[in-house]
């Protein structure tokens, strides 16, 4: 199940807005997340509107996991730069393998 946070971020993006912690507050009182406060200059999304973002939110959340996996596999940027300096072809091969082993949706 996708996170409410992700669906709201997609709703905001579709309306040319970005997440701002001062304009939206989520809360969970034990029965699931809900929007506690909303102060954007666009309408607060309905549950039905947010449900239309389920598929895109699932893809976004899955890709976030892949991005983290890739980031760990790439290693430290300093080490990458050293590897590029010493042997750029080996670096390209390694990075291509990380990407092919961890494809985005």
Q: Is 89 exposed, middle or buried (0-12, 13-18, 19+ CB in 10 A)?
A: exposed
**In the predicted structure, residue 94 carries a pLDDT above the cut 90:** yes
Beta carbons of 32 and 74 less than 8 angstroms apart? no
Q: What is the mean pLDDT of residues 50-54?
A: 97
- Give all domains of the chain, ordered by start, each with its CATH number: 4-74 (3.30.56.60)
pLDDT at residue 1 in the model:
74
pLDDT at residue 71 in the model:
95
pLDDT at residue 14 in the model:
97
């Amino acid at each position: 199940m996708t996170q409410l946070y992700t669906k709201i971020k997609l709703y905001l993006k579709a309306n040319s807005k970005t997440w701002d912690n001062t304009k939206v507050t989520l809360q969970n009182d034990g029965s699931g997340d809900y929007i506690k406060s909303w102060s954007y200059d666009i309408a607060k999304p309905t549950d039905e509107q947010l449900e239309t973002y389920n598929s895109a939110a699932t893809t976004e959340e899955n890709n976030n996991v892949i991005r983290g996996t890739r980031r760990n596999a790439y290693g430290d940027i300093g080490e990458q730069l050293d590897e590029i300096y010493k042997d750029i072809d080996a670096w390209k091969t390694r990075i291509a393998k990380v990407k092919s082993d961890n494809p985005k949706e």
